[in-house]
Amino acid sequence: MQSYVVFPARRDELLKLSMEFEDGYGIPGCVGALDGCHIPIVQPSRPNSKKVFNRKGFYSLSMSAVVDRHRRFLDVDVRWPGSVGDNRVFSNSAVGRMHDLILSEAGGAQGAGFLQTGLEEYRKIPFFLLADSAYANSTHVVTTYEIAEADKDVVVSKLN
């Protein structure tokens, strides 16, 4: 199958995405925004239609997508029934399976590719995807914080 939307894997491409997020939103290291949504469908006539019935009360397919600072798609996966959660859809997508490897190699384990922030307490920031709390927080997927927590720290506030 031919792909038309391909997540960037080269360091120069990721650095460009990161610089665009930092210029637009003041978030260093972010190379994409990750989220999921439900694509409504007609109720299937087959007996296992409960799989496509989502927690919001309608029949759907679950979509996971990564977009750049300009809201252009970098990755899209729409293969899962509506009952499947955002994190599971992403974890099983091409980018979900490969993002740690892609972003680690581009960012360099020794810090060669990490962004220099100029702030002593935040010396090196790896490339990462910004997501909501439906996703598992990790080195390369940074999720939002509770409002009370965000108020305590300027960097956390920017990520929220």
Predicted confidence at residue 113, as pLDDT, reads: 47
Percent of the chain residues past pLDDT 70, beyond the cut: 76
39 forms bridges with which residues in the sheet?
A: 61
Where do we find the tokens 């598992």? 136
29 versus 148: which is more confidently predicted?
29
Note the pLDDT tens digit of each residue in 38-48: 999 999 888 77
Long-range contact list for 99-104, CB < 8 A, 24+ apart?
A: 99/7, 99/129, 99/140, 99/141, 100/138, 100/139, 100/140, 102/7, 102/9, 102/14, 103/14, 103/31, 103/127, 103/128, 103/129, 103/140, 104/139, 104/140
What is the signed CA dihedral for 1, 76, 5, 160, rounded to 10 degrees? Answer: -160
Lowest-confidence segment of 48-57, 58-67, 74-83, 96-105 by average pLDDT:
96-105
pTM, two decimals, is 0.78
Lowest-confidence segment of 57-71, 78-92, 102-116 by average pLDDT:
102-116
Percent of the chain residues past pLDDT 90, beyond the cut: 41
156 versus 135: which is more confidently predicted?
135
Q: For the chain, give the mean pLDDT.
A: 81
**Residue 75 in this model has a pLDDT that exceeds 80:** yes
Banded model confidence at residue 100, pLDDT cuts 50, 70, 90: confident
**Residue 108 in this model has a pLDDT that exceeds 50:** no
Q: What is the CA radius of gyration of the chain?
A: 17
Of 66, 69, 68, 67, which is closest to residue 24 (Cα–Cα)? 69
**Residue 145 and residue 160: Cα distance in Å, rounded?**
6
Of 87, 78, 108, 86, which is closest to residue 14 (Cα–Cα)? 108
Lowest-confidence segment of 56-65, 91-100, 115-124, 142-151 by average pLDDT:
115-124
**Residue 58 in this model has a pLDDT that exceeds 80:** yes
